[in-house]
Amino acid sequence: MNTNPARLYLDHAAATPLAPEVVDAMHPYWSGDFGNPSSIHAEGVTAQRAVDTALHTIASVLECKASSLTITGSGTESCNLAIRGVARAAKRANGSSHIVTSAIEHHAVLNTCRDLQEHEGFELTEAAPDKHGLLSVEIIEAALRDDTALVSIMYANNEVGTVQQIRTIGQVCRERGIPFHVDACQATGQLPLTVERLNVDLFTLNASKAYGPKGVGLLYADPRIPLAPVITGGSQQLNRRAGTVAVPLVVGMATAIELAERQRETEVPRLQELSAQLREGLSVLGGTLYGHPTERLANNISVGFNGIDGETLVLYLDAQGISCATGAACTSNRTEPSHVLTAMGFEDAKAKAAVRFTLGRSTTATDIDRVLEALSSVLKTLSPA
């Protein structure tokens, strides 16, 4: 699915190409079936029917009611709605003003929590991970207070691929009656998404990491959890999120999520095999592998080489036709070391050395050989004398 066969794309944690099935599903709603789903005429009814079908498709994957799903404009917006919506509602209802998250969250979560701390009087606890990026359930449990309004922990880390103990953390939160939000934007097609089995109350998804369109996201919210709207205006989506729903994007998102779930059983083992091949080769080249050795996403490999800046390495590989990243795409234009690796205990030089390869449906064993060959050459050029 690479758009240019001459290039090798290994940054699927940042964005994925549209699956052909997604393109086909979206096509009718760009022009022919263009109606506003809030309208009561035939065109509007057709549009609303498409949205309803899409939501039921996603609900079947999450094993939840379609009415518990809210369409947003991105994963970032979904995280904002979950965190701000629950925190503000709890504070208004009973004065709860404490939030628990982790120091390795995506900035969509971390900076939202910090903003509530700085501007709205919330107290914030940021749990630190171990050296592999794994969060301790005991540390999170110890951070809970009687006035904790929300716990927000990511399913899998976007930079180093470590998968968290979501089900156990969720059970702890349920026993305390504290809403539990999970950012699952990296999980689609790689990890189970059944919300009840995961013990989650709020669940953020998007499509752009799963061969779906950009510009659309999703929030599952247990209807028993009070949720104050963040975007106000019209009464769309049961007053949870105002604004006209982008029908083609919703249809594309649903198609992508359903397809990813259908392929997960065969795709994950394939990616695990390719990742093992790449990790072994990186170790031979002297790389330091970041993240948990076993509790990790199948497609995510994070590595650093002593004395070599990660951004420089990415640019050299880019010149050889290989696309990878230094970390989250949302912060790739910043010069600070990775906040994830820093929280994991790595010094700045190690954190700045990190390079992330994220494999996809098009990745082959031959591609892995090409990466390792290119890396070997680049490392000889960049290695300190």
The reply to whether 330 belongs to the active site is yes
At residue 135, what are phi and psi to the nearest 5 degrees?
-90, 140
Single out the residue of 216, 209, 146 nearest to residue 176, CA to CA.
146
Could you give the C-alpha distances from 14 to 209, 308, 323, 368, in angstroms and in order?
A: 7, 23, 11, 19
Name the amino acid, one letter, at 153.
I
Among the options 113, 173, 324, 330, which is catalytic?
330
Smallest CA-to-CA distance from 150 within 132, 123, 189, 131 is with: 123
H or E stretch including 172? helix 166-176
Question: What is the maximum span of the chain, computed from C-alpha positions, in angstroms?
Answer: 72
Q: Tokens at residue 27, please?
A: 């096509």
Q: What is the CA radius of gyration of the chain?
A: 21
Tokens encoding 74: 């991105």
Residue 344: partners with Cβ closer than 8 Å, 6 or more residues away = 104, 129, 130, 131, 132, 133, 160, 290
Report the distance separating Cα 255 and Cα 261, nearest Å: 10
Catalogue the long-range contacts made by 20-28 (C-beta closer than 8 Å, 24 or more residues apart): 21/255, 21/259, 22/211, 22/212, 22/213, 22/252, 22/255, 22/256, 22/259, 23/252, 25/251, 25/252, 25/254, 25/255, 26/213, 26/248, 26/249, 26/251, 26/252, 26/255
For the chain, first and last CA: distance in Å?
39
Classify 174 as helix, strand or coil.
helix
Calculate the alpha carbon distances from 152 to 18, 22, 220 in Å: 29, 30, 14
What's the one-letter identity of residue 104?
Answer: I
| Cα–Cα dist 206/330, whole Å | 15
User: Distance between CA atoms of 377 and 371, rounded to whole angstroms?
Assistant: 10
Q: Catalytic residue numbers?
A: 330
